[in-house]
Amino acid sequence: MTKRWESWLLATPALVAFAVFGLTPIFMASFGSVYEFGMFGRGWIGFEAFVDVFTSHRFWMVLWVTVKFALVIFPSEIILVVVISVVLSWAHQKIQAAARAALYVPSVAAGVMISFAWRFLVLPGGPLSRITGDILWLGSNPYAFWTISTMVVTTAVGSSVVVLMAGFVSVDSTLYEAARLDGCNDRQVARYITIPLVAPVIVYLGAMRFVGILQIWEYPWAMTGGGPNYSTTAIMLYIYQDASTGRVPQASVMSLVLMTIVAGTLLVYRLCGRKILF
């Protein structure tokens, strides 16, 4: 009995943090979706905000933009991470260390600062605009969408490479030696030994990055403000814009929708990755 109470006592700080920063926002979003607060709030509004959101064409357009970001950024980033990690695994240790440091630097910098750097490159008069001519990389569609997608991929790939390379280190070196004795080349070693053994790490990175992409907002906000014509407005940015203009019930409803999508994504990850991870 004493050990049981000791376990709960040690877990108390984590449970309190989860209740404050996890359960409380969910409760507030749920209550805020049916009750309008504020000096000029109308009090209980029922499911009015739900009807307003789900009958809004703009909401479905923003949701589709979020899905497009996920469908473009996620596979591009995962493929790039695996390729870079495999290629670096063939290099000398000093080269690996230098490459990991260089790739990790962008992921340390604030997203807004990276966005400003990219704006300098692609805005009219910038280095890229001088090369490409009259293309409005942030002022026309679909160029704005692809510019932000490219920026997100190149920014986030570094931290994922560092994690995956750490997984490579855990692979037993005797397996590589046996494969070399059997006549396997670098490509065969990567395909039949390295990638299968680090598959749990790849699945974990994939799940975390997919959830992170669904919540993207700072890059579109800093680069285009969600334009042109909402073509780069992800649902998280739209929630922020609605809440900042007083449409808190509608923002709460969309927060619940996003939470449901994220929870469904993690559930699929858990079911599909069970054989690998558990």
How do residues 6-20 score in pLDDT, each as one tens digit? 777 888 888 888 888
Identify the weakest region by mean pLDDT among 4-13, 73-82, 113-122: 4-13
What is the reported pLDDT for 39? 59
Give yes or no for a contact between 210 and 74, defined as CB atoms under 8 angstroms apart.
yes
201 CB-near residues (< 8 Å, 6+ apart): 163, 164, 166, 167
What is the reported pLDDT for 65? 94
What is the distance between the alpha carbons of residues 277 and 201, in angstroms, rounded to a whole number? 9
Classify the phi-psi angles of 125: left when phi > 0, otherwise alpha if psi is within -120 to 50, otherwise beta: left
Closest CA to 153 of 216, 202, 201: 216
Q: State mean pLDDT over 91-110.
A: 78
How do residues 234-266 score in pLDDT, each as one tens digit? 999 999 999 888 888 999 999 999 999 988 888
| pLDDT-derived band at 273, boundaries 50, 70, 90 | low
61-249 sits in which CATH class?
mainly alpha
What is the reported pLDDT for 72? 92
What is the reported pLDDT for 237? 92
Res. 276: pLDDT tops 80: no
What is the distance between the alpha carbons of residues 27 and 67, in angstroms, rounded to a whole number? 26
Res. 277: pLDDT tops 60: no
Domains of the chain, residue spans: 61-249
Write down the pTM of the prediction.
0.84
What is the reported pLDDT for 3? 64
Report residue 4: phi and psi, to 5°: -65, -45
Identify the weakest region by mean pLDDT among 74-83, 244-253, 266-275: 266-275
Res. 278: pLDDT tops 70: no
What is the distance between the alpha carbons of residues 131 and 180, in angstroms, rounded to a whole number? 47
